[in-house]
Amino acid sequence: MSKAISACLSILTISFVLPSSGLGWGSEVSRVSSAIHVMDEIMSIPEGGIPEHLLRDAAGIAIFPGLLKAGFILGARYGEGIVVLRNQDRGWSNPVFYRLMGGSIGWQIGAQSTDIILVFRTIRSMDAITGGKFTLGADASVAAGPVGRHAEASTDVLLRSEILSYSRSRGLFAGVSLEGAAIQVNYQATSNFYNIPAVIPVQIFNSAEIQAPPIAGQLRQTLAKHSGQGMTPAAPITSGDLQQ
């Protein structure tokens, strides 16, 4: 086996094994902290962040800090992050932990770390994701999201897409196509974060009684700030679209 192929296989092993291996940097609290950091940095880009009105009207948001992309001929993506939903008071729920996985075909050597943000525009677009596994483009339409002032010129994209996707890599932030990527609940990470065995997403999204570490409040406060809203406590979502 050539050195180039061996090196690439090592990169793929790192991409898919280490993030879920429970090593120190992958703790749930640090993952939420990374999501806060990503959101703050992206929204501080002058005239280049996610338009505030899209966040204000969003039904939910997913943040995947440091998605890894690696491959030699056959590319692959893997990342771990969080999903939050709107509650009935238009505030934000506490986070549930998810994985994002997808593949691509192309001549690409090496690895690249990318931050991914998904803006869910309707409650319908959140239905499948609460059930465990969700495929972008199959379970809900997805398109590269408009950035900054370009949002007003992207009426067609906004009308036809339930999910808007964004990425940041090497200092650049833009909409990105993620059709075919799968989003899957990380039940173990969610249980670890709340210290509740076998907890499921709908319990987190629908309950104001489940206690969360303080970092969850910081996340909700950050999202409220960037969506032009005041801070509100986590509260249950009562829409009939989210069924246990």
- Region 169-191 average pLDDT: 85
> How confident is the model at residue 36, as a pLDDT?
97
Of the listed ranges 42-46, 50-54, 121-125, 130-134, the one predicted with least confidence? 130-134
* 231 falls within a domain: no
Average confidence score pLDDT of the chain: 76
Q: Domain for residue 23, yes or no?
A: yes
Distance of CA 49 to the CA centre of its chain: 16
Give the chain's domain count.
1
Tell me if 240 is assigned to some domain. no
Q: Tell me phi and psi for residue 198, to 5 degrees.
A: 60, 25
Answer yes or no: is 239 within a domain: no
- Tokens standing for residue 68: 């890894």
The CA-based dihedral angle spanning residues 118, 95, 42, 164, taken in that order and rounded to the nearest 10 degrees: 10
**Structure-token pair, residue 145:** 């999201």
pLDDT of residue 184: 93
Query: What residues have CB less than 8 Å from 207, skipping those under 6 apart?
Result: 236
| Average confidence (pLDDT) over 144-156 | 66
Q: What is the pLDDT of residue 25?
A: 31
Residue-level pLDDT at 224: 93
Could you list the residue range(s) of the whole structural domain that residue 155 is in? 3-226
What percent of the chain has pLDDT above 90?
32
pLDDT tens sequence across 79-117: 899 999 988 777 899 999 999 987 554 444 555 778 999
Question: 50, 167 in Cβ contact below 8 A?
Answer: no
- Cα–Cα dist 103/105, whole Å: 7
Of 59, 43, 85, the closest CA to residue 235 belongs to 85
pLDDT at 49 > cutoff 60: yes
Residue 237 included in any domain: no
Half-sphere exposure of 170 (CA within 13 A, CB side): 2
Crossing angle between the packed helical segments 214-226 and 28-43, to the nearest 10 degrees: 20
Would the pLDDT of 19 be above 60?
no
Residue 149: count other Cβ atoms within 10 Å of its Cβ.
10
DSSP assignments along 183-214, one per residue:
EEE-HHHHHHHHT-TT--HHHHHH-SSS---H
Q: What residue spans of 18-130 are helical by DSSP H?
A: 28-43, 52-56, 124-127
Does residue 25 sit within a domain? yes
Residues near 75 by beta carbon (within 8 Å), at least 6 away in sequence: 69, 103, 104, 105, 106, 108
Pairwise CA distance, residues 70 & 153, whole Å: 34
Is 98 part of a structural domain of the chain? yes
Q: Confidence band (pLDDT; 50, 70, 90) for 151?
A: low
Q: Give 113-129 as a 3 state SS string.
A: EEEEEEEECCCHHHHHH
Residue 209 within a domain: yes
What average pLDDT does the segment 2-9 reach?
Answer: 38
User: Do residues 63 and 39 make contact, with C-beta atoms less than 8 angstroms apart?
Assistant: yes
Q: Which helix (H) or strand (E) holds 5?
A: helix 3-17
Range scoring the smallest mean pLDDT among 50-59, 118-127, 157-166, 219-228: 157-166
pLDDT tens track for 204-217 = 988 878 999 999 99
Confidence of residue 154 (pLDDT cuts 50, 70, 90): low
Mean predicted confidence (pLDDT) in 58-68: 90
Query: What pLDDT, on the 0 to 100 scale, is given for residue 89?
Result: 79
